[in-house]
Amino acid sequence: MSTPSVVHRLSTAINAEEHELRPALSGFLLFFCLFAGYFMLRPIRESMGIAAGVENLQWLFTATFFVMLAAVPLFAWLSSRVPRLHFVDWVYGFFCLNLLLFSVLFLLQGENPWLARVFYVWISVYNLFVVSVAWSLMADVFDSAQAKRLFAFIAAGASVGGLVGPALSALLIGSLGEAGLMLLAALLLGGALALKFSLMRWREVGGAGRPGATPAESTRKPVPGNPFSGMTRVLQSPYLLGIAGFVVLLATVTTFLYFEQARLVAELFPDRAAQVRVFGTIDVVVQAGALLSQLFITGRLAQKLGVRVLLAIVPLLVCVGFVGLALMPSFAMLAALMIVRRIGEYAFVRPGREMLFAPLDAESKYKAKNVIDTVVYRAGDAVSGWGKTALDMFGQGAGLVAVAGALCALLWGYLGWQLGKQADRQTEVRVGAVVGSGA
C-alpha cells in the first residue's frame, strides 16, 4: 500500500481536492496579507476614535458612510471599463498609494487631530473595499461547491493575519512608528496583489472558468453595467435585498456592541497605551478562536448542514448574549459577547455570507456585492450609531441597548436561515445538473 503524498494529506486536512490545494493556499495567503496589514493599523484607529471623543463616534461613522457613498459609483465606473482580469490591480494599487501618502503625513504631522479623524474614516473605507474586492475575486475564482469546501480555510488566512498583525504592531511601533507601520501595510497589500495573478490563472483550468463549470462572463472583459447598476441590481433582486438586510442587521448589532465597548474602555482605561493593549488582547483572542473554528469546523459544517446553519447560529448566540448583558451589565460580559460575536462573524458568518454570491453572475459578484459590503454596511453603521445615541438619551444604561440588540439579533438569525436555505437549494440544483449531464 502506497503512503499518501504530502499534497494528498494537506488537501484532506483542508477539505480540498488535490488540484485545488495551490489556489486554496494562494487565497489563504492573500487574506493573510490583507488582514496582517489592517490589524497592524487597527489599534491605532481605535485609539484615534477614542481620542476624538466617544460621544463623537457617530459623526465619524456618518462621515465614513458619506465617503463610501461617493466612492462606490467611482468603483463601479472603474469595473465597467477595466477587464475583470486587471480590476483588482487598479483597486489595490490605488490603496497602496494611499498608504504611502499617509505614511508621509504621519511622519510630518502625526499629532494633528484632523489627520487622526481623516485616517479613522479612511481606514474604515479601505478595510471594507479591499476585503470586499478580495471576496469578489474568490467568488469569481471558485464555483459554489468549491466555495462550500474551501472558503472557511481561505478565511482562516484572515484570522492568522489578524493574529500576526497586532503582534507586529506591538513589536514594531517603537522602532518604526505609525508611519513605518503604514509603509509595511502597503508592502503586504502589494503581496496580496501578486497572489491574485496566480488565482486568476488557475480559474480558467480548475475553477469557475473551467470547461463544464457554470458559464461565466470572460475575465478579459469589463463587468457590464453603469456606475449605478450595482445599486439597481440590489433593488431589483429579492435575494440581494435579503443579503442587504442581513448586512444591516449585522452592522446594527456590531455597532451597539462597539459603542458600549468604546464607552467602557474609555471609563476603565483612560491611558491611551492601556486602551491599545485592551483592544490588542481582544483581537488576539478573537483571531485565535476564529482560526481554530475555520480550520476544523466551518467547512465541514457547511458541507453537512448547509449555509443556513452558518448564517443562523451566530445571531442566535448573540441574542442570548444580549439577554445576559441586560441581566448582568459589566465589562466582562460585554467583552465575552464581543469575542463570541467577532469569532462567529469571522469563522461562520463571513464565509457563509460569501457563499451566497458564488452562484451569481459577475455584475452581482462585483458591483452589487460591493454596494452591499460598503454602502449598505456603512449605512447600517451610521443609522445604528445614531439609534444607539437615541437609546442612551433614555438614561436606561446598557439594559435598554441590550434588549434592542437581542431583538435585532433574533431577526438577523431568521433572515440568515432563509437566505442560507435558498443558497443551499441553488447549489443542490447546480450539482444535480452537472451530475446529470455527466460533466
CA 93/CA 107 separation, integer angstroms: 22
**Residue-averaged pLDDT of the chain:** 83
Is residue 263 included in any domain, yes or no?
A: yes
pTM greater than the 0.85 cutoff: no
CB 157 within 8 A of CB 170: no
Query: What is the CATH number for 89?
Result: 1.20.1250.20
Domain count across the chain: 2
How many other C-beta atoms lie within 10 A of the C-beta of residue 267?
A: 10
Q: What percent of the chain has pLDDT over 90?
A: 24
User: Is the pLDDT at 436 greater than 60, yes or no?
Assistant: no
* 120 and 234 part of one domain: no
CB 347 within 8 A of CB 152: yes
User: Is the pLDDT at 213 greater than 70, yes or no?
Assistant: no
Is residue 276 included in any domain, yes or no?
A: yes
* 200 and 231 part of one domain: no
CA angle 370, 373, 375 (to 5 degrees): 85
User: Is the pLDDT at 61 greater than 70, yes or no?
Assistant: yes
Which positions ≥6 away from 53 have C-beta within 8 Å?
none
Coil, strand or helix at 196: helix
* 295 and 424 part of one domain: yes
Is residue 105 included in any domain, yes or no?
A: yes
* 244 and 374 part of one domain: yes
Per-residue exposure over 344-382, b if at least 16 CB sit within 10 Å of its own CB, e if not: bbbbbbbbbbbbbbbbbbbbbbbbbbbbbbbbbbbbbbb
* 197 and 286 part of one domain: no
Mean pLDDT of the region 98-126: 84
For position 154, what pLDDT does the model report? 92
Is residue 214 included in any domain, yes or no?
A: no
pLDDT band at 438; cut points 50, 70, 90:
very low
CA 425/CA 416 separation, integer angstroms: 14
Q: What percent of the chain has pLDDT over 70?
A: 88
Mean pLDDT of the region 129-135: 89
* 235 and 162 part of one domain: no
Residue 396 is classified by DSSP as -
* 152 and 231 part of one domain: no
Report which of 38, 5, 183 is spatially closest to residue 103, judged by C-alpha positions: 183
Domain that holds residue 261: 227-432
For position 1, what pLDDT does the model report? 43
CA 263/CA 392 separation, integer angstroms: 11
